[in-house]
Chain A
Amino acid sequence: MNIFKKVFAFFLSLRTTIWLFITLLSLFLYGAMIMPARVEFQGLFVQPLFTWMNGHSFTITWWLWGAIVTMAFMTANTVICSIESLMKRKSARQWLLIISPQVVHIGFLFILLAHLLSSHGSYKATAFAYKNTVLPLPTGLDVMFKELRIDVSPTGFVREWAADIQYFQKGRHIKDDSIMPNSPSFMKGFGIYIKTVRAAPFPVAVIEISREPGAWCALLGGTFFTAGIITLLILKIRREDAASLKAG
């Protein structure tokens, strides 16, 4: 019972939060230094994080494992502190001022969950596509690049590009779509992206097929985080103004 109390007190402490921040910052600082120096990290662009980490030596990945453990501690710390804060001060008059940091925390937790989902289940593949190229998708569908459209300026600058695509299921045409930069096509959880093109000697496009299972969670987290922090900001500034008016 005593140990349980001690563990609870550890996770309830703001001092723990501070040490977790310092640990995480140190790990990321090491990572930021080592990443550009080691070629192995290039693999992170094409593989889900966990797959990449399992395939590489601990001497390269230890800081990422350390960051995951620290973030797990941080999650427990955030949840326990938020619950305690809400329970302790439920009778307070300025409930928005108490709720808004907790909304920020919820956003943070959703963002962590998003990274967890994407680190486990993301997918990325790159291919070249010409007119009438057919690419198979992991969902069992096929996508055909019906037309590539490239707009080149008189000076030779490629201004715009797009591709008309068609989806097929077991040889049956099911949907038409068009893709261009910043405007991918989504089908059954996968996105088809046109990254870049070459106009000569014949039109060819670099295509990326990707799945990001944490995207919805990251957006939800971002929304909570923004809502919480803006509310907190307005309330704090109002309180500060009221205090300075009183003092003045």
Chain B
Amino acid sequence: MEHPLTLILIIAGAFYIFGYYRRFFVYAGILFQCSYLLMRGAQLGRLPLVGPHDTLCFLSASIAVFAVPIAYRVRDRQRFQHGIVALVVFFMGLSLIFQPHTMPLPPVLRTFWFETHVAFSFFSYALFGIAAVLGVLSLTYDGGVPEEAQYTAILVGYSFFSLGMIFGGIWAYYAWGTYWLWTAKEVWTVMVWLFYGFYLHARLTSWWKGKPEAILGIIGFGIVLFTYLGVSLLMKSSHAF
């Protein structure tokens, strides 16, 4: 094993998989994964938020942490837990494919605005992911998953996402002289923002209530994933990762 800390992450993953059966193991998984992130942070002397390995791991941990309070708003906690565990393990597994970023950060990334921009963005991605899980559950099973829980997850996620965009704009202004760049990542980011803005307005009308609303929550996470992974991997952008 090239990176000794990775063992902690693998243990966390194993706990999450057991969490499919007992909730206690999910909490143990969170504890191990957060410890891993803390140790990575201590090792690097900054928040571990650069590169696909760290960001995917941070996203996975954020989903697990935010799902805890949301679980109390869902009657069918068992099914919700299954969906969340699948999502958390998927992103953690994906993070293990990539090498951890160990190079020193370029000066332009060593700022409070960058760290808060990235952290808030991933908090929002996590909440949009949870909303998608709730959407799938409400389409698959009748009752037990109130649409209000999906709405709450999206509203909180939208707030974090907006904060992430604002902080990103402040950072870009200090780093590059403009709060907005016409790159693929920015355009896709605006699409995420507009899409969830659309969701928040659409759900106020009767036609979009219920199933359409749940479907929107799932499509939204698809756009988020493309913005995060698709644009970073496939297109030229100011956001390499």
Contacts and interface: CB of A to CB of B under 8 A. Distances in A.
Q: Which secondary structure dominates chain B's binding surface?
A: helix
A184 B236 CA distance: 26
Contact of B174 (A31, A182, A209, A230): A182
Given A18-B198, A31-B187, A124 B156 contact: no
A55 interface: no
Interface string A200-213: 00000000111010
B162 interface: yes
Interface in B42-98: 73
A45 B155 CA distance: 33
Given A32-B188, A124-B178, A229-B162, A182 B170 contact: no
B8 interface: no
Contacts, number: 120
B173 interface: yes
Interface residues of B, number: 48
In this complex, the member of B152, B177, B191, B197 whose beta carbon has the largest number of chain A beta carbons within 10 angstroms is: B177
B191 A212 contact: no
A157 B159 CA distance: 38
B152 A182 contact: no
Interface stretch (A136-144, A170-178, A218-226): A218-226
B180 A35 contact: no
Interface string B144-171: 0000100010011011001100100111
Contacts of A195: 176
Nearest to A229: B159
B177 A208 contact: yes
B221 to A, nearest CB: 15
In this complex, the member of A49, A122, A233 whose beta carbon has the largest number of chain B beta carbons within 10 angstroms is: A233
B177 A124 contact: yes
Given A210-B177, A212-B177, A25 B191 contact: yes
B108 A182 contact: yes
B180 A115 contact: yes
B238 to A, nearest CB: 10
A28 B187 contact: yes
Contacts of B180: 115, 118, 218
Contact of A208 (B162, B176, B183): B176
B158 A182 contact: no
Given A157-B104, A159-B107, A236-B152, A183 B174 contact: yes
B205 A14 contact: yes
Contacts of B204: 14
Nearest to B201: A17
B171 to A, nearest CB: 7
Nearest to A232: B155
B205 A212 contact: no
A230 B181 contact: no
A115 B165 CA distance: 14
Contacts of A122: 178
A18 B187 contact: no
A181 B191 contact: no
Given A44-B182, A236-B152, 7 more contacts: A36-B235, A181-B108, A182-B175, A208-B177, A210-B177, A212-B179, A229-B162
12 contacts: A14-B205, A28-B190, A36-B236, A115-B180, A122-B178, A159-B104, A160-B107, A181-B106, A182-B174, A184-B174, A210-B177, A222-B169
8 pairs of A and B residues whose beta carbons are closest in the complex = A210-B177, A21-B198, A222-B166, A181-B107, A44-B182, A32-B187, A181-B108, A182-B111
